[in-house]
Amino acid sequence: MSSVEEPDPMAESPMDYAEHDRTYHFFIGLTKYGTIAVVVILILMALFLL
């Protein structure tokens, strides 16, 4: 048997709130800038293709 103790999963919070907050803000930023990019592409297509 190994003498290495496994960490108690209940000793820490089940959720890393700081990481969750960073991930949330990352996806919000991606959505915002992705939407802006699509709008710009559509405007350019309307100007040059019509």
Report the Cα 2 to chain-centroid distance in Å.
38
**Which token pair is 11?**
């000793």
Q: DSSP string covering 37-49, please?
A: HHHHHHHHHHHHH
> What are the residues whose beta carbons fall under 8 Å from the beta carbon of 7, sequence distance 6 or more?
none
Q: Provide the whole-model pTM.
A: 0.63
Helix (H, G, I), strand (E, B) or coil at 14: coil
pLDDT, one tens digit per residue, over 6-43 is 665 555 667 889 999 999 999 999 999 999 999 999 99
